Amino acid sequence: MDTNEKIKIVGTNIQEKANLIWNVANSLFGAYKPHEYGLVILPMVVIKRFHDCLLPTREKVLATYEKVKQLAVKDGFLRTASGYRFYNTSQYTFERLKADPANIKINFENYINGFSDNVIDILANMGFFTQIERMADAGVLYQVISDFTADNADMNPEKISAIDMGYVFENLVQRFSESYDEEAGAHFTSRDIIYLMCDLLTMNADFSGEDAPAKTVYDMAMGTSQMLTCMEERVHALDKEAEIICYGQEINPFTFGIAKADMLIRGGDPENMQFGDTLNADKFKGYTFDYIISNPPFGIDWKREAADVEKEHKLGDAGRFGVGLPQKSDGQMLFLLNGIAKLKDTGRMAIIQNGSSLFTGDAGSGPSEIRRYIIENDWLDAIVQLPNDSFYNTGIATYVWIVSKNKPETHRERILLIDASKCCEARRRPIGNKRVDITESCRNLITQAYSEYRSAIFTKTLEDKKTVLTCKSKVLDAISLGYNKITVESPALDDDGNPIVKKGKPVADTSKRDTESVPLDEDVDAYFAREVLPYRPGAWIDKSKTKVGYEIPFTRTFYEYEELEPAADIAKRIAAREKVLMEKLQALFGNGGEQNE
């Protein structure tokens, strides 16, 4: 079975499982408003997943607990018994809870309190203890637990893998967020995009060798941590023995709870999952990583974090944001800077941005200075334009930036732009705004363009003999993205038409002040003499106002001129249309006009 078929089957199973779980909402109807269903469903899924993971070792844990319950330190014994980094010492299971409806609240609380502290912390972050009271008061607690005891709510890891469970979580969070009408692009990155990012990151990487050090990967806006899970999966596909350690931070308490739960179940260190706002509460200060993979929110303002971010900006090189700040309406470039600050000297990052990061901001502005910082340090390796309609919650143009602190020699002082906007296959059934997939064939074509790192057009005809995938690439010299913005002054004239001079220098006429953008690889004075002086005699450059700017002209780079239709042909077409129109008018009104006369 090829990867495409596997993804389709897994995707169907995920959708079906998520549908079954979401149907628990029927039991909440009346007691909860629709936008509140996730407050119960999401933590209940976490609890049931823990429950089903622990069932096989339950008796062993209970026996161990009887032996060690008097000890001051017993976590290690109980974790060993459970086989996980968490455990539950309660006598109850979901089946036993269901068998005693009269005491459902007190028994369920006993079950929850039997969990290890790390699980209780997750549920507390999700505000679940309040929901137990609310469900009990509304008389729906027993029915909800019964719903999760059904066969089709089985979440045994033997039946549903960690990565697939992660996507069930993601699907449920998506539904919850849609009911809140949250910002587009705030949470979700589909598996096809993540796999592309993973392949671009790990291309030519060597994870082999018994003494190979563990590789670290970080997601600064991890959601339910699916990017980290996929990255781990891809690395192990390259080398089963490779060791990879995941780190992530997340601001949403529900998605954070799911991410930490997922880490616990997969056997990782739950302390590597941190809750908080990456921009003003960095939980990984001083850390650097081998890989960073992230889809931070775009189009979201950072006013809430402004005081702390601006304070850190004033620290200069001692902080993450010293180089410059973007406009307050969109904080995505702050995440870009955060990622760069956390890359090892050999590190690589794949981060999603929308189009504004390519060009917003004039020379000297925060966004331009951020681009300048990345480009002049020769860290920007490539940018890939993704197809529109690739995301669940937004159809706008998006880009994957590949940042490398140690570019190959053949990539130095150059940047590869890849237009993969047409490299996709249409979905039979859209999911929200997602109407296309970056299939395995698409992914292979894009990674080929990246690996060859040259200006070219790559195509592939699919098995149906009709669909032709296209991926275009263009290598640019890094210096070609920069420009000097010069201020051109013209002399003020007196009544006789002569330049006004003060202290031996001509006085500028501010009404005639203008600016010119001169490519960075061109001599400013030569440009001025050729392009300005012939048309503005006596003008000069105020060099104190010259600023360096950078922008990435993605659209212009791949623009293809379409020759206009000859004027004579246009005139003929208009005349033919007019003739047809007049004939229709005569047919409609001609006879009526004769009768009126």
User: Given the structure tokens 């079954």, which residue do they identify?
Assistant: 20
- Name which of 540, 535, 506, 505 is nearest 524 in CA terms: 540
CA angle 193, 555, 426 (to 5 degrees): 40
User: Given a cut of 50, is residue 593 above it in pLDDT?
Assistant: no
DSSP 3-state of 77: helix
Whole-number Cα distances in Å, 291 to 206, 216, 219:
13, 6, 9
Bridge partners (DSSP) of residue 155 are none
User: Given a cut of 80, is residue 10 above it in pLDDT?
Assistant: no
CATH no. of 183-480: 3.40.50.150
Enclosing H/E stretch for 37: helix 37-54
* Per-residue pLDDT tens digits for 292-310: 999 998 888 999 999 999 9
Model confidence band, residue 401 (pLDDT cutoffs 50, 70, 90): very high
- What does the pLDDT read at residue 183? 47
User: Given a cut of 90, is residue 466 above it in pLDDT?
Assistant: no
Would you say the C-alpha torsion 321, 325, 329, 335 has a positive or negative sign? negative
Bridge partners (DSSP) of residue 88 are 115
The stretches of 469-557 forming alpha helices (DSSP H) are 524-531, 554-557
- Name which of 406, 413, 403, 412 is nearest 374 in CA terms: 403
Rounded to an integer, the average pLDDT of 160-166 is 80
DSSP tag of 266: H
- What does the pLDDT read at residue 5? 46
CB 97 within 8 A of CB 107: yes
- What does the pLDDT read at residue 2? 45
CB 398 within 8 A of CB 365: no
* Per-residue pLDDT tens digits for 187-224: 568 889 999 999 999 988 877 766 678 899 999 999 88
- What does the pLDDT read at residue 579? 83
User: Given a cut of 80, is residue 147 above it in pLDDT?
Assistant: yes
- What does the pLDDT read at residue 550? 97
d(C-alpha 393, C-alpha 181), whole Å: 10
Query: pTM, whole model, 2 decimals?
Result: 0.86
- What does the pLDDT read at residue 12? 53
% pLDDT > 90, the chain: 64
- Name which of 396, 440, 392 is nearest 192 in CA terms: 440
Model confidence band, residue 3 (pLDDT cutoffs 50, 70, 90): very low
HSE of 157, CA atoms in CB hemisphere, 13 A: 18
**Taking the domains of the chain in order of start, what are their residue ranges?**
3-178, 183-480, 482-555
d(C-alpha 477, C-alpha 497), whole Å: 46
- What does the pLDDT read at residue 270? 87
* Per-residue pLDDT tens digits for 346-366: 999 999 999 999 999 999 999
Model confidence band, residue 56 (pLDDT cutoffs 50, 70, 90): very high
- What does the pLDDT read at residue 299? 84
* Per-residue pLDDT tens digits for 107-143: 999 999 999 999 999 999 899 999 999 999 999 999 9
Model confidence band, residue 572 (pLDDT cutoffs 50, 70, 90): confident
Rounded to an integer, the average pLDDT of 78-100 is 96
- What does the pLDDT read at residue 268? 84
Q: 506-523: string of b/e by CB count within 10 Å (b at 16+)?
A: bebeeeeeeebebebeee
- What does the pLDDT read at residue 189? 82
User: Given a cut of 80, is residue 287 above it in pLDDT?
Assistant: yes
- What does the pLDDT read at residue 18? 81
d(C-alpha 459, C-alpha 477), whole Å: 25
CB 468 within 8 A of CB 421: no
For the chain, state the CA radius of gyration. Answer: 31
Rounded to an integer, the average pLDDT of 6-10 is 44
The total number of residues written for the chain in this structure: 597
Residue 589's Cα: distance from chain center in Å? Answer: 61
d(C-alpha 319, C-alpha 309), whole Å: 9
pLDDT, mean over the chain: 89
Model confidence band, residue 106 (pLDDT cutoffs 50, 70, 90): very high
**Number of neighbouring beta carbons within 10 Å of residue 106:** 11
71/455: higher pLDDT: 455
- What does the pLDDT read at residue 445? 96
User: Given a cut of 50, is residue 9 above it in pLDDT?
Assistant: no
Q: 166-180: string of b/e by CB count within 10 Å (b at 16+)?
A: bbbbbbbbbbbbeee
Q: Which two tokens stand for residue 523?
A: 């001599």
Q: Which two tokens stand for residue 274?
A: 């941190």
- Name which of 367, 364, 363, 373 is nearest 354 in CA terms: 367
- What does the pLDDT read at residue 25? 85
Rounded to an integer, the average pLDDT of 537-542 is 94
User: Given a cut of 60, is residue 7 above it in pLDDT?
Assistant: no
* Per-residue pLDDT tens digits for 228-255: 999 998 898 888 888 999 999 999 888 8
User: Given a cut of 60, is residue 6 above it in pLDDT?
Assistant: no
- What does the pLDDT read at residue 239? 87
User: Given a cut of 80, is residue 392 above it in pLDDT?
Assistant: no
d(C-alpha 138, C-alpha 159), whole Å: 33
β-pairing, 456-461 with 468-477? antiparallel
- Mention every residue, 6+ apart, whose C-beta is less than 8 A from residue 339: 220, 292, 294, 349, 351, 403
- What does the pLDDT read at residue 13? 63
What is the four-CA torsion angle of 508, 511, 512, 517, rounded to 10 degrees?
100
Model confidence band, residue 367 (pLDDT cutoffs 50, 70, 90): very high
CB 433 within 8 A of CB 392: yes
531/157: higher pLDDT: 531
